[in-house]
Structure 1
Amino acid sequence: MDSRTVALIRTTFKAVAAEESGPERLARSFYSILFTEYPQIRDFFPAAMDSQRDRLVRAISYTLDRLEEPNKLLPFLAQLGRDHRKYGVRDEHYQAVAHSLRTAMSRFAGNEMWTDEVDHAWEQGLTLICDTMIGAAAKETTPPVWSGTVLEHRMVLHNLAVVRLRLDQAIKYAAGQYISVQIPARPRMWRYLSPSVPANANGEIEFHIRGVLGGWVSPAMINQTVVGDQWLLGSPLGGLGVPRNSKRKMLMIACGTGIAPLRAQLLQMAQRRTNPKVHLFVGGHHPCELYDLRTLSELAAAHKWLTVTPVAEREENPWWHADSGEPAPQLPGLEPRMTGQIGKVVASFGPWSDRDVQIAGSPSMVQTTKFRLMAAGTQTKNIRHDPLF
C-alpha cells in the first residue's frame, strides 16, 4: 500500500479512537454488526465479551501502526492466520469480519470523513490483512490444535502456579514464542502463555501462570487445574529469540511470569557451544516474587556469558507470604539484589547501546521500561517485546 492509503486508514481510526469512549463504542458496534448479520459466527466467541472487545481495539491499533513495515506486519499476520485455525474459521468468516469492521468504522466516522477514497483505503488494508492470514493458514501442514495432558501442577505463590504438560504431538516452537491455551473449565476462552522451556522431542511443555484479580481464565488455571486435565494449545506466535549466529550482546528484562520466555531462551542457549554475553534483570514487587532464582542461579554459575541481577521494588515480603523472617541466602552466580522499579534500575546503567534488548512482563511494565530505556538513550530499533494485547 502507498503512504496515502496508510495515512487515510490511520487518520480515520485515530479520529474514532480519540472520541470519548470511542474504542469501546467501536468494538461494541463491530460485534453487534458481526453477530447480527452473521449470527453463525457468534459460536466462535466466548459468552463474556469484555476482554475480547479490549483486545480487538488493541490488535487493530497494533496492526495499523505497522502498515508501512511489511517485513514486520506480514509475518505477524501469517502467525495469526495459522493460530486462528484452532477456531475452525473459513475464508468467508474473514470476509464477514472485514465487512463488519468497515461498516462500524464508516458509521462512527460519518459521511464527511468517510469518503469514497477512505472507504477504498480501508478495503485495501483489510484485504491485505485477510489475504495474508488466509494464505498462511492454507499453507500450514501442522495440526490446528494440540492436546496436552497436565503432568504437574505446582503452586509457587498464593497466586502463581507452574503447570507442566505432555503434548499428544510435539510443537515446534522457538524459545521465546507464546502459545494460545484453552482449559476445560473455560471453553472458547483462549489465553496466551509463554513456554518456560525450549521445545523438545518428548513433547513436554511448562507454563508459569499468575492469577489476574477478577480474571476469567487465569484464576481457573491456578485453582481448578488437576493432574490429568486435557488442555488445548494453538500455533506458536511471537518473534522473540536469539539467533544461533548472533554475536551482539543481549539485555533481557523480565518481571513476574515474564521470566518464562526469557528463561526458555537461556535454557536453549545453554545447549550451544558459544553465545553472546547476556545480562538479565529479573524483577518483582517483593523478593518472594523472584520465584525462579534458583534455576537462574544454576544457569549463571555454569555459564560465564550470563549475568543475572535480581531486582525487587520493596525490601520486605508482603504479609501474606509465610517465611522464616530470615534473610534469603545469596545464591551462587547471581549479582546482589537491587531495590527499585526495574525499568528505572536498568536505565540507571546507561543507554546499553551495545545491546539488543528484550522486555517481557505485563503491558504496563513493558511500556514503562521501554520509555525509561529510550529516555536513557537506548535506540527504539534495538528494543523488542511481544504485542501488548
Structure 2
Amino acid sequence: MDSRTVALIRTTFKAVAAEEGGPDKLARSFYAILFTEYPHIRDLFPAALGAQRDRLIKAIGYTVERLEEPDRLLPFLAQLGRDHRKYGVTAEHYAAVSRSLRLALGGYAGTELWTDEVERAWEEGLDLIASTMTTAAEQETAPPVWTGTVVEHRAVLRNLSIVRLRLDQPMTYAAGQYMSVQIPSRPRMWRYLSAAVPPNPQGEIEFHIRSITGGWVGPAVVGHTVVGDRWLLGSPLGGLGVLRNTRRKMLMVGCGTGIAPLRAQLLAMTQRRSNPRVHLFVGGQHPCDLYDLATLSALSVAHKWLTVTPVVESIENPWWYADSGDPAPELPALQRRQVGQIGKVVAAAGDWSDHDVQIVGAPPMVQTTKFRLMAAGVPTRNIRHDPLF
C-alpha cells in the first residue's frame, strides 16, 4: 500500500473522528447499513451493541494508525482472523462488512471529502485487512473455540474475582496473551481477558475479572459464576512476552487486573535458567486493589532478578472494604509502597531509556504512563501494550 493511499485513509478517518459524536455516529450508521442489507448477519452479534460499537471504532483507529507498520499490523490482523472463526465468519461476511463500512464512511464524510480516489483507497485498505484475516483463518489448524469448566471461583474483592478453568483440550498460548471468553449467561457477548498463568500440563487457565459499572459480562462473572459453569474461549491474541535469552532489562507496569498478563510472564520466566532484570510496578486506586502482592512478594524472594514496587493513589481503602487488615502490607522483598499516579511515579523512579517496557491496565492509564515515559526519554519503539479495546 503506497503512502498516498495510506494518507487518504488516515485523513478521512481522522476527519470523521474529529467531529463531535462522529465515531459513535459512524458506528451506528455502519451497523444500520450492515443489518439492513445483510439481515442474516445480525445473528452473529449480541443484542446490545454499545460495547461492540466502541470496539469497532477503536479497532479501525488502531489499524489506520499502523498501515505503514506491516511488521506490527499484519500479525495483529492474522490473530484477529483466527479469533473470528468463533463467529463462523466467512469471506462473504468480510465483503458485507467492507461494503457497509465504505457506505457509512461515504455518507458521513460527504461528497467533498469522499471522492472516488478516497473510496478506492479505503477499498484497497479493507481488502488488505479482509485477505489477511481470511488467509490466517483458513491456514489455522487449532480449534475455533475452546471449552472449559470452572473449577474455582474466588471472590477477592466485592468487585473482583479470580476464576480458574480446566480446558477440555490443550490451548497453546504465550504467557502475556489474552483471549475472548463467553459465559453461559451472556451468549454472543465476548469479553477479552488475559491469562494470569502460563500454559501448564494440567490444562488449567486462570483469569482475574473486575466488575465494571454498567458492564454486561464482568458483573455476571463476579456475581454469578459457580463451579461447573462451562465457558467458551477464543484464540489467543496479543504480542506481550519476554524473549528467551534476552539481556535487555525489563520495566513492567500494571494496574488492577492488568497485573494478570505480567504475572503470567513472571511465572513462565521462573522456569528459565537465566532472565534479565525486571522491575515491576503494580498499582491501584486503593490498597485493597493490590490484591496479589503476596504472590509477587514470593516470586521476588525466590528470584533476585525481580524487583516489585507497589503504588497506590490513596492510602485509604473505599468505604465498602470491610477487612480490618492491610491488603497491601509491607511484604518481604517488596520495595516501599509509593503514593501517587502510577505513570508519574514510574517516570520519576529512574532512567528507563535502556529498558524494554510493557504497560497493562485501563486505556487512560496505559496512555498516560506511555506519554510520561516518552517525555522522560524512553524511545517509543521500546514501549509495548496491547490494543486498547
Q: TM-score range by the shorter chain?
A: over 0.9
1:82 matched to 2:82: yes
CA RMSD of aligned residues (A): 1.1
Rounded Cα–Cα distance in structure 2 between residues aligned with 1:292 and 1:267:
13
Q: Deviations over 1:9-53 (max 9, x none)?
A: 111111111112111110011000100010000000000011111
> What is the DSSP-based 3-state SS (H/G/I as helix, E as strand, rest coil) of the residue aligned with 1:130?
helix
Q: How does 1:33-44 map to 2 (within 5 A)?
A: 33-44=33-44
User: Aligned partner of 2:309: which letter?
Assistant: T
CA deviation profile, 1:297-326 (whole Å, cap 9, x unmatched)? 110000010000111111122221122256
Q: How much does 1:330 deviate?
A: 2.4
The letter for the 1-side match of 2:300 is: A
Does the 8 Å CA contact 1:350/1:377 hold for their aligned counterparts? no
1:170 Cα deviation from its structure 2 partner: 1.1
> 1:105 is matched with which residue?
105
Q: 30-39 or 332-341, which moves further after superposition?
A: 332-341
Consecutive unaligned residues of structure 1, counting only runs of 5 or more, are none
**Which runs of structure 2 are paired with 1:293-372 in the superposition (5 Å)?**
293-324=293-324, 329-372=329-372
Residues 1:296 and 1:128: Cα distance change in structure 2 (over 3 Å): same
3-state secondary structure, aligned to 2:184: coil
SS in 2 for 1:58: helix
- AA in 2 matched with 1:262: L
Q: How does 1:127-142 map to 2 (within 5 A)?
A: 127-142=127-142
Cα distance change on mapping 1:86 and 1:325 into 2, 3 Å: closer
Q: Equivalences for 1:40-189 in 2 at 5 Å?
A: 40-189=40-189
TM-score normalised by length of structure 2:
0.98
Tell me by how many angstroms 1:329 deviates: 4.4
The Cα of 1:328 is off from its aligned counterpart by 6.0
Amino acid at match of 1:226: V
Which amino acid letter does the alignment assign opposite residue 209 of structure 2? I
After TM superposition, the runs of 4+ consecutive aligned structure 1 residues lying more than 3 A away are 325-329
Amino acid at match of 2:81: G
With over 3 angstroms needed to count, the CA separation of the structure-2 counterparts of 1:198 and 1:61, relative to structure 1, is same
- Contact 1:196/1:261 (<8 A) preserved: yes
CA contact (8 A) 2:287 2:326 kept: no
Contact 2:290–2:328, Cα closer than 8 Å, also in 1: no
Q: Which whole-Å CA distance do the structure 2 matches of 1:352 and 1:329 have between them?
A: 27
- 1:388 maps to 388
Describe the shift of the 1:116–1:36 C-alpha distance in structure 2 as closer, same or farther (beyond 3 A). same
CA-CA distance at 1:110 after TM superposition: 1.6
SS in 2 for 1:318: coil
CA contact (8 A) 2:164 2:205 kept: yes
Shift of 1:368: 1.1
Residue pair 2:354, 2:378 contacting (<8 A) in 1 also: no
SS at match of 2:189: coil
CA distance in 1, matches of 2:326, 2:106: 63
What SS class does the counterpart of residue 166 from structure 2 fall into? strand
- CA–CA distance in 2 between the matches of 1:126 and 1:328? 48
Contact 1:9–1:122, Cα closer than 8 Å, also in 2: yes
Alpha carbons of structure 1 residues 260 and 329: separation in structure 2 relative to 1, 3 Å = closer
- Give the aligned partner of residue 194 of structure 2: 194
Instruction: Describe the SS at the equivalent of 1:154.
Output: strand
Instruction: Give, in angstroms, the shift of residue 266 of structure 1.
Output: 0.1
* Alpha-carbon separation, structure 2, partners of 1:325 and 1:275: 35
Residue 256 of structure 1: aligned partner: 256
Give the whole-Å Cα distance in 2 for the aligned partners of 1:227 and 1:9: 48
SS at match of 2:234: strand
Matches within 5 A, 1:207-286: 207-286=207-286
- 1:292 match: 292
Instruction: Give the structure-1-normalised TM-score.
Output: 0.98
Instruction: State the identity as a percent.
Output: 74
Q: Give the CA deviation at 1:351.
A: 3.8
CA distance in 2, matches of 1:286, 1:327: 10
In structure 2, how many angstroms separate the alpha carbons of the residues matched to 1:116 and 1:330? 64
SS in structure 1 of the partner of residue 27 of structure 2: helix
Q: Distance in 2 between matches of 1:159 and 1:243?
A: 34
Q: 1:107 to 1:156 in 2, by over 3 A?
A: same
Count of residue correspondences: 389
